[in-house]
């Protein structure tokens, strides 16, 4: 479906019309379209301002030229944000580098995730706050597959389980655990982005407090008192790593 162009809010001066692309230059034009859309998204700070017409004007082509590469505006913006999934993966990996304790690594990853969302709010909205028509099967194949930032989160949860920290609900499926923990940090990130005027106080302190509370609630361990265990539960011995399927 082709979306309406919308208002060209904050659009830079129109580029000079470009000559018709020669054979083999389609990939170059596609890259230019993505770069222009990214630039507009950053300059305006608004997804609504990045219309197909605005992007076409910035590149110096007509709107139909955009549609030859991208079916609609939403697909264009998703492609713009695709590179940020790779950047989020790099950020998450860097956050746990050198952190030996698996629980602390999970906390560090949660903090890094929230900070990434706050530093790229418009990208985050498109990546995680927009409606998706993917089926459960497509989510498993395209989103929850063994690559990307979600795979790092699953690995971090698995490391905690392998260290003997069992989930409070008894479900030791690392994917289920990753989904639960992701829901918490996503909720915090979404609130901070959507309601920046709320009296949140020290954002960094709140992020740290919530991520620690989440770990304590999920694994029943107070991270400020490593030897403490929730009443009625015992630490288990480190489990053997599961064999790969």
Q: Where are the domains of the chain?
A: 1-71, 82-219
Backbone dihedral region for residue 45 (phi beyond 0: left; psi -120 to 50: alpha; all else: beta): left
Pair 182, 150: CB distance under 8 Å:
yes
pLDDT at 236: 43
Judge contact between 228 and 222, C-beta under 8 A: yes
184/159 Cα distance (integer angstroms): 19
Give me the pLDDT at residue 211, please.
Answer: 84
pLDDT of residue 145: 57
> Could you say which residues of the chain have pLDDT below 50?
1-19, 21-24, 226, 228-245
What separation in angstroms does the CA of 174 have from each of 89, 155, 182, 215? 18, 8, 12, 14
Query: Residue 26: its pLDDT value, please?
Result: 65
CB under 8 Å to 54, separation ≥6 — which residues? 5, 8, 11, 40
Q: Which residues contact 149 (CB under 8 A, 6 or more apart)?
A: 85, 88, 89, 92, 113
Question: For the domain with range 82-219, which CATH number is right: 1.10.357.10, 2.50.20.10, 1.10.540.10, 1.20.1260.10?
Answer: 1.10.357.10
Per DSSP, the residues of 18-55 read PPPPPTT-HHHHHHHHHHHHHHHHHHH--STT--HHHH
Q: What pLDDT shows up at residue 233?
A: 40
B/e letters for 170-189, b = 16+ CB within 10 Å, e = fewer, are eebebeebbebbbebbbebb
Which pLDDT does position 146 carry in this prediction?
Answer: 58
Q: How far apart are CA 119 and CA 111, in angstroms?
A: 12
pLDDT tens-digit profile of 197-244? 999 889 889 888 888 888 778 887 765 554 544 333 434 434 444 444
């Amino acid at each position: 479906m082709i979306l309406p162009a919308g208002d060209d809010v904050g659009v830079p001066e129109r580029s000079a019309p470009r000559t018709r692309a020669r054979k083999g230059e389609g990939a170059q034009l596609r890259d230019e379209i993505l770069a222009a859309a990214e630039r507009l998204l950053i300059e305006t700070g608004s997804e609504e301002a990045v219309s197909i017409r605005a992007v076409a004007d910035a590149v110096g082509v007509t709107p139909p030229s955009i549609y030859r590469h991208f079916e609609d505006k939403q697909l264009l913006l998703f492609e713009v944000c695709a590179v940020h999934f790779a950047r989020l993966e790099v950020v998450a990996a860097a956050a746990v580098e050198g952190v030996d304790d698996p629980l602390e690594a999970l906390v560090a990853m949660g903090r890094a995730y929230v900070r990434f969302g706050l530093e790229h709010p418009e990208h985050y909205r498109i990546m995680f706050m927009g409606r998706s028509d993917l089926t459960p099967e497509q989510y498993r194949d395209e989103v929850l597959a063994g690559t990307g930032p979600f795979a790092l989160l699953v690995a971090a949860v698995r490391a905690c389980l392998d260290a003997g920290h069992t989930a409070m609900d008894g479900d030791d499926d690392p994917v289920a655990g990753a989904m639960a923990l992701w829901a918490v940090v996503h909720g915090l990130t979404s609130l901070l982005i959507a309601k920046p005027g709320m009296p949140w106080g020290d954002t960094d302190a709140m992020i740290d407090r919530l991520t620690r509370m989440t770990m304590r609630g999920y694994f029943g361990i107070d991270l400020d008192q490593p030897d403490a265990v929730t009443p009625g539960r015992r630490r288990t011995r480190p489990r053997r790593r599961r064999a790969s399927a």
